[in-house]
Chains A and B, each alone.
Chain A
Amino acid sequence: MTFVVTKPGLLTLIQDQGRFGFQHQGLTTGGMLDEYAGNWANRLLGNSLSAPLIEIALGNVSMTATADTIIAVTGAAAPIWVNEHPISMWRIQVIRAGDAIRIGWARSGQRLYVAVRGGFQVTPAFGSTATVVREKVGGLSGTAILANDQLPFTPVTLDQGLDFAAPQAAIPNYDQSVQMRVVLGNQIMAFSEQAKTVFFQSTYHLTADSDRMGFRLSGPAVHYGGDTILSEGIAFGAIQVPPDGQPIIMLKDRQTIGGYPKIGGLLPIDAFRLSQMKAGASVSFAPIALEQAQALMQDFYRFFDSPNDSPLS
């Protein structure tokens, strides 16, 4: 009972919330880059938020179901067809054995999430199914999904007319620029007033040299005047400043330790949004107080942990 992948796309990965408790062994967390879109896909299906799903970079993926099930596709906006009939994203879709699902190229946003009722049945490695290609850990066999791979699920036969969708207001417009909020880290004190002003008052652009490890920015250089730093643990969303002054935002596949000074940590909600932005997109930053940032994250998780109106939950 699987989806047989006929076209794997550029980088299609089994993901979940990530791998925790192994960073001291040098294993990064991995996990879905955009938890907002990914969590919505699982929420629509009444799945647990930890249900494995697939993350597709930029679209262009096709697969065929060998059994009945129900899916939800969220994230980057792309045209999707089931047996050549267009279907909507951010909405549940009943699938029958033999159905061919075709996802076109993303028109807005960078990553799509495909969740299946009950989650993909993948054996966790170190407590998680998240694929980290660099470490050859997670997923089906530590690699990205390839043509002819079979993505297993537990079949469920549902009424074709079953419907449930995210409200329009919940669907992000990934082309809109957003101000990114930053919890200032303690090392901010080693940056001069001028360096801080440069960082918070400038507009930066995402460079093409960005991947699941980190997004590199280009713009006015932020000069760090402090002493060299000994390598230390790097948190998700950490904003590192290497000697060239061009900030790097560390994302899900970041290395576990590193020695660049850090301005602080991007609010994870904004880091999720950032990972939907394309090379050349502009970003600017504003500081946020810790208490306010924690409240926003608590609201985020409270929403996704709360029961919903899905006919499947």
Chain B
Amino acid sequence: MTPRFKPLLTFAGCAMQCDFELAGVNSFIIRLGSAPSATLVHKIGAIAQLIQQQFSLHIQDVVPSYTTLLVVYDVRTTTFSSLQERLAKAIEASAILTDKVAAASANKTVRLPVCYDPSLGFDLQPLADRLGLSIEAIIRLHSEVVYQVYAIGFSPGFGYLGTLDPQLRVPRLPTPRTAVPAGSVAIAEAYSAVYPQQTPGGWWIVGRCPVSLFEPTREPINLLRVGDNVVFEPIELDAFHAYQEAH
């Protein structure tokens, strides 16, 4: 459950929830809903883009997440009170535009090949034992869902992909691994993710994706954006190696 705080400012004119909450001397949270959903994340992704484009003069960062946007602004050029009113109006005025962008993102699907070979998805067997499912069933349940990017964080390009089939939900590992190989496809609680870099990690590893999600020298640097759809397409081990060799 998301706690509901008394918002500082609520715009009744907005067709959707649009509450402004103070976060710090040059930052605030815009809360656009109370529970995460596929519809909401498409919208949040679209509004984040809109704010970045229209307010680039005053705004340093816009960080979208499950139900919120954190807006960080330049205290030298604007204030909270001046900005919140203008942002709320812009969000309201561009509802049709953001709906279009949201619809486009709802139609944008990033397809990621995944090799579910147990040599790469080394938690498949422990997961099968824990969940009472076969490895084949886990692979099927994991790859048959269309995910949405609910948030990006933890490390550059790390997307929280929701939501996982309820049958696959497990808590994080009791002790995180100190290093998870780059490309590892993992699950924990209601989410799946691909580790873009080798980092420590506490999620269960079910496979590996040969596509690099985050490339500082590529445009776009990050394959995923909040609101995008993601589909995992199972590939065999030899296809995985062939892909790696070709790139």
Contact = CB atoms under 8 A, between A and B. Distances in A.
A189 B70 contact: no
Given A26-B222, A27-B156, A186 B61 contact: no
A189 B22 CA distance: 11
A211 B147 CA distance: 35
Interface in A250-273: 255-258, 262, 264-268
A164 B2 CA distance: 55
A237 B72 CA distance: 12
10 contacts: A24-B62, A25-B221, A136-B197, A187-B3, A230-B68, A233-B68, A235-B27, A257-B152, A262-B23, A265-B27
Contacts of A186: 5-8, 21-23, 29
Contacts of A233: 23, 27, 29, 61, 63-65, 68-70, 72
A40 to B, nearest CB: 18
What secondary structure prevails in chain A residues at the interface with B?
A: mixed
Nearest to A226: B3
Contacts of A237: 24-25
Contacts, number: 162
Contacts of A69: none
B130 interface: no
A190 interface: yes
B154 A265 contact: no
A163 interface: no
Nearest to A235: B27
Interface residues of B, number: 49
A184 interface: yes
A282 interface: no
Interface in B63-118: 63-70, 72, 75-76, 79-80
A137 interface: yes
A20 B74 CA distance: 11
B67 A230 contact: yes
A190 B23 contact: no
Interface string B46-58: 0010001000000
B157 interface: yes
A255 B72 contact: no
Given A235-B27, A297-B75, A230 B2 contact: yes
B23 A238 contact: yes
Contact of B155 (A135, A184, A235, A238): A135
A228 B66 CA distance: 13
